[in-house]
Amino acid sequence: MYWNDPYFIYDPFERILIKELIGRVLDVLTEKQRVVFLEHCIYGKKQSQIADEMGVSRANISRMIGRARRNIIAAGIFTEQNINLKGKLKNERPEAQRI
């Protein structure tokens, strides 16, 4: 349920902006990078779980995440400061935390 999700955005305008931003990110990624990015960075799956599901090594998944990050940064969508070392987007909105 959305009401107990600490990352749920209540403002409809912000939800539109987030959807547009994710759309821009997905546009600069290859199909495999999109899958890995969504599974790991958006849905929070572990790299090993994604690797098992895709039938590839965890190292291969790690490389795909790295390439995806570089593509996103090269496209100017995010900077290195907006993406942490694990490749997940930083939550810089303290008001989005669980109440």
Find out whether 50 and 68 touch, Cβ atoms under 8 Å: no
What pLDDT sits at residue 19? Answer: 84
- Whether residue 49 is predicted with pLDDT greater than 50 in this model: the reply is yes
Torsion sign, CA atoms 32, 85, 39, 47: positive
Binned at pLDDT 50, 70 and 90, residue 17 comes out as: confident
* Local structure of 9: helix, strand or coil: coil
Do residues 66 and 87 make contact, with C-beta atoms less than 8 angstroms apart?
Answer: yes
Out of 21-25, 78-82, 92-96, the most confident range is 21-25
Q: Tell me if the pTM is above 0.75.
A: no
Instruction: Return the DSSP state at 33.
Output: H
pLDDT over 80 at 32, yes or no: yes
Q: What share of the chain is helix, strand, coil (3-state, %, to 5)?
A: 65, 0, 35
pLDDT(88) > 60: no
CATH architecture of the domain with residue range 10-84: Orthogonal Bundle (1.10)
